[in-house]
Amino acid sequence: MAKSKIENKSGLMEKIVSLAKRRGFIFQGSEIYGGLANSWDYGPLGVELKNNVKRAWWQNVVAERDDVVGIDAAIIMHPKTWEASGHVSSFSDPLIECKNCHERFREDHLFEGKYGEIKTEHGKPLCPKCGGEMTESKKFNLMFKTFVGPVEDSGHQVYLRPETAQAMFVDFKEVLNTTRKKIPFGIAQIGKAFRNEITPGNFTFRTREFEQMELEYFVEPGTDKKWHQYWLKERIAWYVKYGISKKNLRLRAHSKEELSHYSAGTSDVEYTFPWGWGELEGIANRTNFDLSQHSKYSGHDLSYFDEEKKKKFIPYVIEPSAGADRSVLAFIIDAYREEEDKDGRIRVILKIHPQLASYKVAVFPLLANKPQLVKLARKIYDDLKKQFMTAWDDRGNIGKRYYSQDEIGTPWCVTIDFDSLKDKKVTVRDRDSMKQKRVPIKELTEYFREQLGNYV
């Protein structure tokens, strides 16, 4: 049996970043111009993986349920939206700047030890980079500002949304009227959000441009605690279903000091990243704050009338809010393995869930210089790619091709050899077990459907 060479996460992050770039998962943004700090582009393999993660979330939260519908709202919303939500007045971090090197830091991060031990002078922190004197702390709003139209003045100022949630509150009545849903029901959305973070970092974990997978689940007041507990269990189960080890996940309830002023309870799904525990998803009981605020600021009644109970109320909201980029990163980290084979070679494997894998199948002709093998392999490849994301590889020896596909997480490889010309069968090799099996060519599509179905 192959022996795992990964016994701890020391140095793992460097390997993940290297693999992501080398194999086309994630690149530095604008790299030919020297890059843009904390800007990342998803390459050919990364975009497939990320789309599969979003698809799996949508399948679980929307498609398989009768009580949730989806929307795709505009990124730029009316500026009053952010006044109502409180983002204009309070969506800020404490900014502190070095007077010498002009490096900027979040003041709370200095005292939380995120920059190591901080020296002080007269009770004030010194710059962790150069030791210089720091400015007084000031509030820094995290929203990106822009302007609509040709005039750049305050009357035309708008914001790039810092979260996808608000559109679901603003569109609450429209969705309710067009779908005729009854409480409890939810509105889901996947989309980009933008926050001008002072100190982004840890690869794609904290960036200024990111993608959220959010659900706003509207419930009757008094049932909110029950539904909050329900979604806590549902959401952590989703990560486990798609391959993240349960031992690497935890639910952490926010302390009273951490809670947003409108929250009656919030817990984070956290993953143990190489640098420590980090949030994958927040699940909050937002009470009726959002709909109440938008009713007040817009002048529109966003209450709900229960026909059966003949009563009117402002719904409470349970919000599971997940980061698509953070989820992708966690799935990659948790799937990464280094194993020593019987010949002493190190095999790097992404044991990623087959439903999430960028490619499901790779097709190889045993020899690239044998036209009859290539012709048959091409026909099989053309047939399979109509059903599954399928890779073609005819470079180098077959062993190197297997290991190359292992490294990007392809669950199955199909090899067409000289026997295939006679018996109309091919060799299917499994990524995780490395076992091989002869499968009739005419049964391949159904075989892989069945294999994928085992993981649903």
Can you tell me the distance from the alpha carbon of 104 to that of 113, in angstroms, rounded to the nearest whole number? Answer: 16
- Residue 13 confidence (pLDDT): 92
pLDDT digit string (tens) for 8-43? Answer: 565 899 999 999 999 999 999 999 999 888 899 999
Q: Which CATH superfamily is domain 3-79+161-333 in?
A: Bira Bifunctional Protein; Domain 2 (3.30.930.10)
- Residue 140 confidence (pLDDT): 73
Radius of gyration of the chain (CA): 26
- Residue 50 confidence (pLDDT): 98
- Residue 138 confidence (pLDDT): 77
Are the CB atoms for 393 and 406 separated by under 8 Å? no
Are the CB atoms for 242 and 353 separated by under 8 Å? yes
With a cut of 70, list the residues of the chain below it in pLDDT: 1-10, 91-92, 113, 456
Can you tell me the distance from the alpha carbon of 291 to that of 299, in angstroms, rounded to the nearest whole number? Answer: 11
* Tokens read off for 42: 């998803």
Residue of 279, 208, 194 whose CA lies nearest to 29: 208
pLDDT digit string (tens) for 374-422? Answer: 999 999 999 999 999 999 999 989 999 999 999 999 999 999 999 999 9
- Residue 456 confidence (pLDDT): 66
Domains of the chain by residue range? 3-79+161-333, 92-138, 359-453
Out of 3.40.50.800, 3.40.50.1010, 3.40.50.10540, 3.40.50.720, which CATH number does the structure's domain 359-453 have? 3.40.50.800
Please, which residues bridge with residue 124 across strands?
121
- Residue 38 confidence (pLDDT): 85
- Give start and end residues of each alpha helix (H) in 242-343: 289-298, 324-335
| Same fold across 3-79+161-333 and 359-453 | no
How distant, in Å, are the alpha carbons of 167, 298, 307, 338 from that of 175?
A: 11, 17, 17, 48
How distant, in Å, are the alpha carbons of 38, 74, 79, 144 from that of 150?
A: 29, 20, 17, 18
* Tokens read off for 317: 């909201």
